[in-house]
Amino acid sequence: MKAVHVLNGPNLNLLGTREPETYGHATLAEIEARLCARCNPRGIALHFRQSNHEGDLVTWVQEAGRAGEPVILNAGAFSHTSIALYDAIKAASAQVIEVHLSNIHAREDFRRRSMISPVARGVILGFGAFSYDLALEAFLARAEAAGKP
């Protein structure tokens, strides 16, 4: 594995200040720094991005899929609405782990269904910022088991 893509959707740029009782106090910059600290010693590049625009996320998923590089995807509200992201994951054969900071199944009805989950390799939710670490660990363990550290 040469790189891991961490893609973040709308409003995640506000982490740390947006509803900290739901999403926690960690910022995206803090999450990125923590993941970099785990990737760098292994020689794995971390492509960490955030956009409030669905099309950006679609393009980034396609790029990662074409490169054969895994994706940790927190699509935010697009998780519940985006057929375009669903299609991009399928079309690009992207290996995606969907992450959510909160337990979406314990929240409003409209948040309980994800358009991403059916095409994701796995879903990690409810562990706050640590959800990203768990997703990275899953990809690292999978690569190690396949002999591709």
**What CATH number does the domain containing 34 carry?**
3.40.50.9100
**Looking at residue 66, what is its pLDDT?**
97
Token pair for residue 106?
A: 């314990």
Instruction: Please indicate whether residue 53 is annotated as part of the active site.
Output: no
Q: Please give the share of the chain, as a percent, with pLDDT higher than 70.
A: 93
Compute the average pLDDT of residues 81-109.
91
Scanning 1-94, the segments in alpha helix (DSSP H) are 20-23, 28-39, 54-67, 83-91
Residues 6+ away with beta carbon under 8 Å from 146:
none
Instruction: Please indicate whether residue 86 is annotated as part of the active site.
Output: no
The H-or-E segment that residue 50 falls in is: strand 45-50
How many Cα atoms sit within 13 Å of 7 on the Cβ side?
Answer: 31
Q: How many domains, in total, are found in the chain?
A: 1
Compute the average pLDDT of residues 39-53.
97
Determine the Cα–Cα distance for residues 1 and 43; give it in Å rounded to an integer.
9
Reported confidence tier of residue 27, pLDDT bands at 50, 70, 90: very high
Residue 49 belongs to domain spanning: 3-145
Catalytic residue among 5, 86, 100, 132: 100
Catalytic residue among 23, 25, 53, 86: 23
Q: What is the pLDDT of residues 101-131, one digit of tens each?
A: 988 876 777 767 899 999 999 999 999 999 9
Angle of the 83-91 helix axis to the 54-67 helix axis, nearest 10: 10
The H-or-E segment that residue 6 falls in is: strand 3-8
Pairing of β 45-50 and β 96-100: unpaired
Tokens 């660990």 correspond to: 137
Token pair for residue 36?
A: 């970099």
